[in-house]
Amino acid sequence: MRWLLIALTFPVFLAGCDKPKAQAQARPPAEVTVQTIVPRDTPVRFEFVGQTQSTHQVQIRARVDGFLEERVYTEGALVKTGDVMFRQDPKPFQAQLDAAKGALAQQQAALQTANDNLARVKPLTALKALSKKDLDDATGQQAAAAAAVYTAKANVQTAQLNLSYTTITAPVTGLSSYAQVQDGAYISSTNSLLTYVSQIDSLWVNFSVSEDDMLKFRTEKTRGVLSVPGEHDFVVDVVLSDGSTFPHQGRITFANADYDVTTGTYLLRATVPNPDFSLRPGQFVRVGLTGAERPNAILVPQAAVLQGAKGHFVMLLTKDNTVQPRPVEVGPWHGNDWFITGGLAAGDVVVTDGVARLAPGAKVKVVATAPAPASHAAAVASGSAPAAATGRQPGVIQGPAAAAPAGAAK
């Protein structure tokens, strides 16, 4: 039986061996989008995290000890210079003033008596009717009475000041804080702080630049791959937490000369107008700096840049419509694009779409040509580009670190 099965299947096996192999079908060229490299001057925007601060925050303190009689202002309201904020009980200070005025009148009367006595003694001494000692005594009494009058006047002035200090006014125009002492409390040196007033018609925005960014900024400036405005006069715009841009722009007005060893950063400060008081001290914001540009910069879409074992590379289109890898040096991101600092030149054609499925030497078919990334650069320069479009690449200079120590960067 077994031999019968073998005999039946053997011819079938031989017939199968005689079938020709199906030839593999040739794959069509991959469809890709390309972009021709055109270097151009590209405005750039640098972005940091900052925090707003009042340009003039004043502590409102009581200058004399006494009972707090009344809080006059509305907590959190805008107060103007000279507005009454607190009143202390004035009666003890009024009594001190009255006593000082009485003492002054007494001393003025004593001075008048001493003047009259000196006026009588002088002619009598000249006639030898009184001794020289009598004249000296009268002169001394008159001088002592005059000095006592000066002291009494000073006491009156002190009492007047103390009485005026019981009415506490706002020294600047700004937003008030809450009252830290309630009506009826006794005010002394231990609890003299009553509230704060923060001037906010313009605000400071403090932000920090890392040491790495500082060094990269200076290196790029020295190499000529980054151009900055004269005197580092960057335009400062503020992006709020909801992504909206504050309508008023500012300028960098302060750069700390010291390096903060605890944070590894340099402190910079911008002053931003705030006429409608919409910004408040203490807000966390994003600080955008514009005014710099990268001359003759080369930009390619981020999707066109791949990373291999030896670094970054792009796929270059050759004349025979094949692709070959080209190693490149990358810089910071610029929106959805990437600055290329080395490896590409004007006229090179880079595959921007469909690059991930390509192998070196593969045949391709160009179905579209991507425009050069110029529109985004213009939008960033004008401030109309969204803040997220200037994404930060870790470890790459994104801010004018040397804008703070301007002298060192020049």
User: What was the pLDDT predicted at 343?
Assistant: 92
308/330 same-domain check = yes
User: What was the pLDDT predicted at 26?
Assistant: 63
In a domain, 27, yes or no: no
Kindly report the average pLDDT of the chain as a whole number. 84
139/287 same-domain check = no
Q: What is the biggest distance separating any 2 CA atoms in the chain, rounded to whole angstroms?
A: 177
In a domain, 119, yes or no: yes
pLDDT digits (tens, 9 = 90+) for 5-49: 444 444 444 444 444 444 445 678 888 899 999 999 999 999 999
- What CATH number should be reported for the domain holding residue 387? 2.40.30.170
User: What was the pLDDT predicted at 30?
Assistant: 86
Q: What is the pTM of this model?
A: 0.70
Into how many domains does the chain fold?
A: 3
229/266 same-domain check = yes
126-138 residues labelled b (16+ CB within 10 A) or e (exposed): eeeebeeeebeeb
Sign of the CA dihedral running 342, 226, 284, 263: positive
CB 326 within 8 Å of CB 344: yes
307/337 same-domain check = yes
What's the rounded Cα separation, in Å, for the pair 409 and 143?
A: 67
- What CATH number should be reported for the domain holding residue 115? 1.10.287.470
364 DSSP assignment: E
Tokens of 119: 């006026």
210/290 same-domain check = yes
User: What was the pLDDT predicted at 325?
Assistant: 93
Contacts of 113 (CB under 8 A, 6+ apart): 145
221/276 same-domain check = yes
| Domain range for 183 | 63-88+172-191
pLDDT digits (tens, 9 = 90+) for 263-319: 899 999 999 999 999 999 999 999 999 999 999 999 999 999 999 888 999 999 998
In a domain, 307, yes or no: yes
User: What was the pLDDT predicted at 192?
Assistant: 95
User: What was the pLDDT predicted at 156?
Assistant: 97
Averaged pLDDT, groups of 10, the chain, 410 residues long: 42 46 64 92 93 95 96 94 96 96 96 94 88 91 95 97 96 93 94 94 95 90 89 92 95 92 93 93 95 93 90 92 93 89 92 86 86 51 36 34 35
Amino acid at 199: Q
